[in-house]
Copies of this chain bind each other. A is one copy, B any other.
Amino acid sequence: MKKRVGILGATGAVGQEFLVSLENHPWFEVTQLAASERSAGKKYLDAIRDPASGIIKWQVGGDVPEYAQGMTVVSTDKVNTSELDLVFSAVESDAAREIETKFAKDVPVISTSSAYRYEEDVPILIPGINDDHVELVEVQKKNRNWKGFVLPLPNCTTTGLAITIKPLYDNFGAKRVIMTSMQAISGAGRSPGVSALDVTDNIIPFIPKEENKVRIETAKILGKLKDGKIEPANIKVSCTCTRVPVIDGHTESVFVETSKPTRLDDVKHKIEEYSDHVSTQGLPSAPKDYLVVHQDPTRPQPRIDRQINDGMTTSIGRLEEDTIFDNGVKYVLFSHNKKMGSAKGAVLLAEMLYKKGKI
């Protein structure tokens, strides 16, 4: 018997990625699709059809998965939680807080919104990085007297940073991190998203609120769960986030000061070792390579690396010892904002929870 899954915000761009990520899933079956009142009662294919032009507004590559095409969309407030084992929420942030609260009373909710990320009893989980934080959901359930719980993903810019810092933090005592991101336009969504007039032949050196999110989330993810709360890692993060004319995938230029010496091949070895033994191995959505360290100095490149392992691998290139710190390294990372950093990463998280018996 597969777990019964509902998708909230199923008609939007992230919702559509959920539909694709869950197609033919061995453990999960999508049984309810929810969206706003406007879409309620329609077949999914009609719900994403532009009424004026008749155009199907499908925003992911390939076709709408067949299983979803004929499903009837329900209004978010008509979802029957008693027939669900799990909810994926792709609801945009303003409405997210209220909706996720309502659902979590009955059923586990995995969310791409930031609504609950900064609550004390809510971990920000990246499968393979801080799986042990999952125990905080027991505190959360008790605190709030919920049958379910809320588990938010990190911001998509945090994901790649936290994943690459983790082996450096564990093995070399990463203590200061300086990062400049070059983020893809798909990260800004689609309604209306980034205007072509703003980003063609251009860079926009500012993404509202992004830098603060990265700072707080990185320390929380790398922190320790102790006595029912997460003690943030003792790591200082400074970053500047920019938007560049790249469609999918965030590139980040990272400089890390560590407390221990960083011999280059030692660092490379520890990263690859981490990847080889990562906890996500064997999960259906896990990539063959969790982390890859490129020797080729021209990698990672968004257009090449976004295709590797369907966007679930985090790539590192230009790895070098950094001479301006007593100890430290510099590197460039690539992380796919719409895959590992979004819906498919959320599915990977659900798989980890399933394995741990949390859903």
Contacts and interface: CB of A to CB of B under 8 A. Distances in A.
Interface of A: 53-56, 59, 61-62, 176-178, 180, 182, 185-186, 190, 192-206, 236-238, 240, 242, 244-247, 251, 253, 255, 295-304, 307, 317-318, 322-324, 330, 332
- Work out how many copies of this chain go into the complex: 4
Nearest 10 A-B pairs (CB), nearest first? A192-B192, A180-B180, A180-B253, A236-B324, A202-B303, A196-B196, A205-B332, A238-B324, A206-B297, A240-B253
Given A190-B195, A194-B197, A196-B194, A242 B202 contact: no
Contact of A253 (B53, B205, B304): B205
A55 B332 CA distance: 17
27 contacts: A53-B297, A53-B298, A55-B297, A61-B307, A176-B324, A180-B253, A196-B196, A196-B245, A200-B303, A201-B201, A202-B246, A202-B301, A202-B303, A203-B246, A203-B302, A205-B299, A205-B317, A205-B332, A206-B317, A238-B323, A238-B330, A240-B253, A242-B251, A242-B332, A244-B244, A245-B245, A253-B253
A247 B303 CA distance: 11
A253 B179 CA distance: 9
Given A297-B55, A318-B240, A324-B178, A246 B201 contact: yes
A196 B244 CA distance: 11
A306 to B, nearest CB: 10
A318 B194 contact: no
Contact of A205 (B199, B255, B318): B318
Contacts of A307: 61-62
A55 B307 CA distance: 19
Contacts of A180: 180, 253
B203 A182 contact: yes
Given A195-B196, A203-B251, A323 B54 contact: no
A78 to B, nearest CB: 30
Contacts of A59: 197
Contact of A332 (B185, B240, B332): B240
Contacts of A237: 324
Contacts of A199: 196, 200
A302 B54 contact: no
Contacts of A304: 61, 202
A105 to B, nearest CB: 34
Contacts of A182: 182, 203, 242, 244
Given A203-B246, A324-B236, A190 B194 contact: no
A193 B201 contact: no
A178 B192 CA distance: 34
Contacts of A251: 203, 205, 242
Given A178-B255, A251-B205, A323-B236, A195 B193 contact: yes
